[in-house]
Structure 1
């Protein structure tokens, strides 16, 4: 599990991270996102909606989304059948 989050934990300003399988199961989590299944479900739903929207218009697969809120940003990246979510302070 630590290997899944090791490079994410090194990102400047990060305060938590989640790693999900492509079906949304939490594989690993740290910091403020530790065991945050609610965040995982919401971000997965947003990624699925964005993927449907962009795939209808583009040939390239959807890979990354940023959700910018007042105090922090959630960055989600889809790679190798996993979803990597990082929470960073703004």
Structure 2
């Protein structure tokens, strides 16, 4: 298995079975069953999307982006791999954040 700890800017990870059981975890996501259940629900929801409405017939990766971090969810070898990564703000992101604060 890929060493999840070696992923750059990784602050937590989970590896789940298809039914949501935690196989491995670490960092901020260590043994975090709440996040595991949320991600499993999201993956299950994407399975219900009609493939005729999208260009792809299946999803292999989902990214959820927040202002300071993101979750990258990949499906591989009948496992769900989740990585929480710290985002490095770019100048454009800093400007957008400042604009939101000014509202």
Q: TM-score range by the shorter chain?
A: 0.7 to 0.9
> Which position in structure 2 is the counterpart of 1:45?
41
TM-score, normalising length: structure 2: 0.75
Gaps of 5+ in 1: none
- Indicate if the aligned counterparts of 1:21 and 1:27 stay in contact, CA closer than 8 A: yes
Name the structure where strand makes up a greater proportion of residues.
Answer: 1
Within-5 A mapping of 1:1-90 = 3=1, 6=3, 8-55=4-51, 57=53, 60-90=57-87
Q: C-alpha displacement at 1:65, in angstroms?
A: 0.2
Tell me the C-alpha RMSD between the 2 structures.
1.6
**Structure 1 moving runs of 4+ over 4 Å:** none
Aligned residues: 86
Return the alpha-carbon distance in structure 1 between the equivalents of residues 20 and 77 of structure 2.
14
Listed as ranges, the gaps of 5+ residues in structure 2 are: 88-103
Q: Contact 1:55–1:62 at 8 Å: present in 2 too?
A: no
How many angstroms does 1:10 deviate by? 1.1
Report the TM-score, using the length of structure 1 for normalisation. Answer: 0.85
